[in-house]
Structure 1
């Protein structure tokens, strides 16, 4: 299944914990430290996103967000340094299934390219282990359809 970014900002909403700006080299160029790998690199704001970057500070509303994350429009969040982002950011492929509980809060996800659920919720984990984990459906589209059916029936919203 091909990964298609939903521009929700979920992936980068906690990246401020691992990406820190070490130095402002120019008004729109920064030296960052990528904490997990120790990588330091220069990151520049994409020219077409300059105004958006300067107009907002996403960290004020999302305290753990990557310092380059900005809300383009309601519900659409983008990286303003997308063209020069670190390698690990380039490799990131969000999720193939996102699960919301009855209140619309994120409760679990399945990473793109996997069939493994990540959730802190015990009930969802038990449901997954009991009804989904053992599914032996080779076709990925059919597997997703069946998983969606099971989880929707249990009251979850599948995105």
Structure 2
């Protein structure tokens, strides 16, 4: 298994953020939020360095309106390096804890990284042979597994990539072509 390594790109907060909404403010640092996909209500605690900024945006009501930033209200510019940081990271909801930008790293026969399975089992690769294998042999499995998924949430579904049996099928297809797929934990 390969360990997931977050690079702070903020793509997760941009896509999932539309579904994380503040229901009620308790204090300048504490909020009740709702997950728009699961309807779960959960408490969050904002890190002190971001509290004033988030409080101001929440009170002004400008978050998510036309012309303003999109994504999660808790996504902030990382003050220490390029990229984004989560202002509620220790208390973030389960959907955020489980999110992975990529679900498998694919290695070529020499052990170099040939690609990554991203999102709902798409691939990111510059290897034309791997891209062809993915389109012809693996993508049909994805389409079959997610048929019937509601269109407004289909981009958030991690299955079938989260299913160990499906991952084994993908790994077997890759191995038959000389590649090695390692699921990300």
TM-score class normalised by the smaller sequence: 0.5 to 0.7
Corresponding residue for 1:78? 85
Contact 2:14–2:72 (CA<8 Å) still a contact in 1?
yes
RMSD over aligned Cα atoms: 4.0
Provide the secondary structure at the position in 2 that maps to 1:12: helix
Provide the secondary structure at the position in 2 that maps to 1:88: helix
Cα shift at 1:138: 6.5
Cα shift at 1:61: 5.2
Which residue, out of 136, 140, 146, partners 2:181? 140
Provide the secondary structure at the position in 1 that maps to 2:73: coil
1:55/1:33 Cα in 2 relative to 1: closer, same or farther (>3 Å)?
closer
Give the number of the structure whose residues are more often helix, by fraction: 2
1:52/1:139 Cα in 2 relative to 1: closer, same or farther (>3 Å)?
farther
TM-score where L is the length of structure 2: 0.52
Gaps of 5+ in 2: 106-115, 125-130, 139-169
Cα shift at 1:28: 1.4
How many pairs were matched up?
Answer: 126
Which residue, out of 103, 111, 120, partners 2:118? 111
Give the number of the structure whose residues are more often strand, by fraction: 1
TM-score where L is the length of structure 1: 0.59
Gaps of 5+ in 1: 99-108, 120-125, 142-159
1:10-49 equivalences in 2 (<5 Å): 10-49=11-50
Task: Determine the C-alpha separation between the residues in 1 that align with 2:84 and 2:63.
Answer: 10
Cα shift at 1:27: 1.0
1:26/1:55 Cα in 2 relative to 1: closer, same or farther (>3 Å)?
closer
